[in-house]
Structure 1
Amino acid sequence: MSIRLIVKEPDPVLHEVAKEVTKFNANLQKLLKDMAETMYDANGVGLAAPQIGILKRVIVVDVGDESGLVEMVNPVILEREGEQIGPEGCLSIPGINGDVRRAERIVVEGQDAAGERFTIEAKGYFARAFQHEIDHLNGILFTEIADSVYEVTDRPERGDE
């Protein structure tokens, strides 16, 4: 495993749509491990492959609750319910936060490292993290959809993505 360099805005890769993963092999497993290690090293709660310059539909999420680390390949949101608005940050846009409207509850379907399909129901902050990371796969940054964007001076420990 190794820590990867996190791509920063305005790198154009952050605005591109990631490609579906079709090969489930050792390279994908290494990518997932590297992404998790990179996310933890940066005190993040989520990371999408485009954030390390790889245009593949791969995310990792760990909001620090009982759900633990979730690795998901080719994630798709199947259901959205309710609404929440809250602060978000991004490892690719340091020093900036924004208030973003998201669904309160979602159901996400994806694949694991072996290609097996699974679904997750996520609520609250966990749902917010998934939506943020899936937006990255579609070339969307939180600053483009935020109700307001503002500078922050201190980055909380694992508080914002």
Structure 2
Amino acid sequence: MDKADIKVLIKQRATFKTKVTQFLTYLNPLNSCPNLNRLQVSELNIRLTKIEEIYSDYDSVQSDIENICEISEEQYAEREAFETRYFGAVALAREVLARSGNSAGPALDSRSVGSFSPHSITFFDWTNRHVAPISPGPRIYCHKYLIAVHAHPTAEDPFLESIL
């Protein structure tokens, strides 16, 4: 391999570092929450699964870099720094999930979709971190949307991703 190949591998490694940093950025505020609601638990589980999937790819790229470089002590230090952050993030995510356990806070239930009533619906107020009743009015579309999203949590939706 030549210099161009090593640059590509180093860029790939940087991508893995960025993913871990983004995961930690998402995870740290959740760590300060005493209880997570079901939506937060579900999203954290999905993100944790995704972050766990990148390790083997990272290991392959990092091993290639270590094998190419003549002075690999610097590369071993890179590996150690990445693994410390990576495994710390995974451990923290598992701890947050274990702490929330079955005591996940209230969330919309898919059973409420069939019996929709604007007077009986609640929503999670992200600003104040509590469940609040919904009053009928102009925001009802948003709440119907949240019920639909909750009923189908695996559906990909750019709008939902942009507000979370």
- TM-score scaled to structure 2, two decimals? 0.24
> Which of structures 1 and 2 has the larger relative contact order (alpha carbons within 8 angstroms, sep 6+)?
1
More helix by proportion, 1 or 2? 2
Structure with greater Cα Rg = 2
**Structure with the higher strand share, 1 or 2:** 1
